[in-house]
Amino acid sequence: MQVHQFHRWNVTPREAMQIQAEVRSRVIARGRMPHPRLVAGGDLAFEKESDILYAAVIVLSFPGLEPVEALVCRDRVRFPYIPGLLSFREAPALLRLFARLKHEPDVIFIDGHGRSHPRAAGIACHIGVLLDRPVIGCAKSLLTGTCEDPTRSRGSVTYLYDDKGRSIGAAVRTRDRVKPVFVSIGHRISLAEAIRLTLACGKGYRIPEPTRRADLLAEQAKRSARA
């Protein structure tokens, strides 16, 4: 996969926010993916008290959700931990893995936010714009905005709004009586399609299978490095 890099990563926090403004302007908040063949997930694991991270990307068949290809790498964190700027810590390693894939996914899930972000430019938007591929942000916790709690049954949805009343994502119940995930547009996909695919990529867990598998791979790489 080609990375359409339009900025450098070695930047100040102020410069990073300016880059996010450009990312936001490039996001395409529409698109359908009626018959994807391959879906991918990306996630990371971090060493405590260290600057080491482990990134993982996995490609799965769809709708079967069977593994097709997986890549893992060890890297160093090169940007400080600043809420709202996590893509500058996490995206470089994930992008290097996506660039190495032999099987190009039709849609990508990222463990993190897309437009449900203080500057509407979370890591799912950032990766989506740089890859120019359909990307869905699927986060485990709320970063910004407000929403009502969806009903307790799987498939229930409530919408997330910013302080101006604009829809920026959705709380999606992926499993009965389990906390929802927060789904948002990354790039080249509509929110309705992102919600549909999030539910379609579930296999009985709270987290959609692409990012769940990527998380397991990253954590396994971290454990193996300690052994």
The pLDDT of residue 32 is 87
Structural domains in the chain, sorted by start: 13-226 (3.30.2170.10)
Tell me if the bond preceding 63 is cis, omega within 30° of 0.
yes
The pLDDT of residue 225 is 85
Mean pLDDT by 10 residues, the chain (227 residues): 95 98 97 92 93 98 97 95 95 98 98 96 98 97 94 95 96 95 98 97 96 98 87
The pLDDT of residue 213 is 98
Strand, coil or helix: 56: strand
d(CA 144, CA 137): 14
Residues 6+ apart with CB under 8 A from 145: 116, 160, 161, 162, 163, 168, 169
d(CA 12, CA 18): 10
User: Rounded to two decimals, what is the model's pTM?
Assistant: 0.96
Where are the strands (E) in 65-215, listed by range?
Answer: 67-76, 107-110, 135-139, 157-161, 167-172, 181-187
Residues 6+ apart with CB under 8 A from 98: 1, 3, 40, 42, 57, 108, 127, 131
